[in-house]
Structure 1
Amino acid sequence: MSVNLAKGGDAPIQDLTRVLVALGWRPADDAGPEPDLDASALLIDRHGMVLSEKHFVFYHNLKSPDGSVVHEGDERVGVSGRDCEVIRVDLEQVPPRCARIVFPVSIYNGETTGQNFGQVRDAYIRVVDQTSGDELVRYDLTEEAAKYPAIIFGELFRKGSKWHFRAIEEGFSTGLRGIVTGFGVDVAG
């Protein structure tokens, strides 16, 4: 049975080793040019910093060096009723020094084009058992996110020896660049 989270809520991930973190959305009917959303993952240490530049998994770096986090590729068109981008996570392979895996979603060049999550409908993040396909946890983005071009949707985090998922929904007007530099990723240019 799936747990629907409220903003700030968290839920344990059952004793699983492999999960999918799936994101979905559809463009608003009046969105103008269709926004291109991009999901990412950052493997973060207990000090709040990315483990290394290669632990920033996104459309130009589809796999963490240890293979624990794999992005299945960029989907440029949102479609209602199905997952648009999927990130596979092998929880057993996540390096022990990783305290959490943060999942930002950004509108490609949204901070410069003026596009934001107000042009998106039915946006969600969900955690799925990779083996059975069962949804474990789900968070539906609220209207509060409408003014931002980038949002941290949620995170997987360690609580003792167990993994949990937390719904965050923290918006950034500075786009993906603003999110990743805050975690220590050096973004050139």
Structure 2
Amino acid sequence: MAISLQKGQKIDLTKGRAGLTNITVGLGWDPVKKGGLFGGLLGGGADVDCDASVLMLDENDKLSDPKDLIYFGNKTSKDRSVKHSGDNLTGAGEGDDEQITVDLRNVPANVHKLLFVVNIYQAKQRKQHFGMIQNAFIRVVNSSSGEELIKFNLTDDYSGLTSLFPGELYRHNGEWKFSAVGQGTSDLSIGDIANRYR
């Protein structure tokens, strides 16, 4: 049974799970229905295109190589340990909207943190923000068994914000841990976010 996390909580992911080597990180969201609480804000009903990404950071929280940014334009890390499933343009449908798979055994030793990000594509041009999104979550699944291990529902009000840091995986004493971050920012692109870590 999955452990449901609250914002700020951290949990051991691999400790006591010797066989856990491949995980799938699922990210999901739904557009707020027109006519609902934010119905007047949807700007002509254009789809809100959210993009999931992951930054592979070193021990100093730096993105040491531009290829360590995994997103719809660079779907596989150079070592092939992190792979992006591809771009979902609308957020429609049940379950995960985008997925990132991680082979924990093959994440390079210099990578200490995998920081997951969701941002709204062309948010400024389309006048869109995360107040137009509901039911956002991040979850971690054992890729081999399909068992959901962790889920974090993002319930804060992110109105006016255009990027989210839902969670991160990080190394600690030879094990991998997961932290429910749940922080929003006004960064407008994945490039803006990546520049914070250069």
- Aligned with 1:40: secondary structure? strand
Q: Which residues in structure 2 correspond to 1:121-140 (within 5 Å)? A: 121-140=134-153
* Structure 1 residue ranges without an equivalent (≥5): 185-189
Query: In structure 2, how many angstroms separate the alpha carbons of the residues matched to 1:135 and 1:147?
Result: 31
Corresponding residue number in structure 1 for 2:72 = 59
2:108 maps to 1:104: no
Alpha-carbon contact 2:131-2:157 (below 8 Å) kept:
no
Aligned residues of 1:105 and 1:152 also touching (Cα < 8 A): yes
Q: In structure 2, what is the Cα distance between the partners aligned to 1:81 and 1:143?
A: 21
Residue in structure 2 matched with residue 4 of structure 1 by the alignment: 4
RMSD over aligned Cα, in angstroms?
1.3
User: How far, CA to CA, are the matches of 2:85 and 2:111 in structure 1?
Assistant: 21
Q: CA deviation at 1:80?
A: 4.9
**Larger radius of gyration, structure 1 or 2?**
2
Shift of residue 142, structure 1, vs aligned partner: 1.8
Aligned residue for 2:103?
Answer: 90
Does the CA-based 8 Å contact 1:145-1:169 persist in structure 2?
no
Contact 1:18 1:88 in 2 (8 A): yes
In structure 2, distance between residues paired with 1:28 and 1:71: 25
TM-score (norm 1): 0.93
- 2:187 maps to a residue whose letter is T
1:24 aligns with 28
Shift of 1:178: 2.9
Q: How much does 1:58 deviate? A: 0.3
Deviation at 1:159, TM superposition (A): 1.1
Paired residue type of 1:170: Q
- State whether residues 148 and 171 of structure 1, in contact with CA within 8 Å, keep that contact through their aligned partners in structure 2: yes
Percent same amino acid among aligned pairs? 35
Is the deviation greater in 23-32 or in 120-129? Answer: 23-32
Determine if contact 1:172/1:178 at 8 Å carries over to the other structure.
Answer: no
Cα separation, 2, equivalents of 1:167 and 1:146: 19
TM-score by structure 2 length?
Answer: 0.89
CA distance in 1 between partners of 2:22 and 2:158 (Å): 29
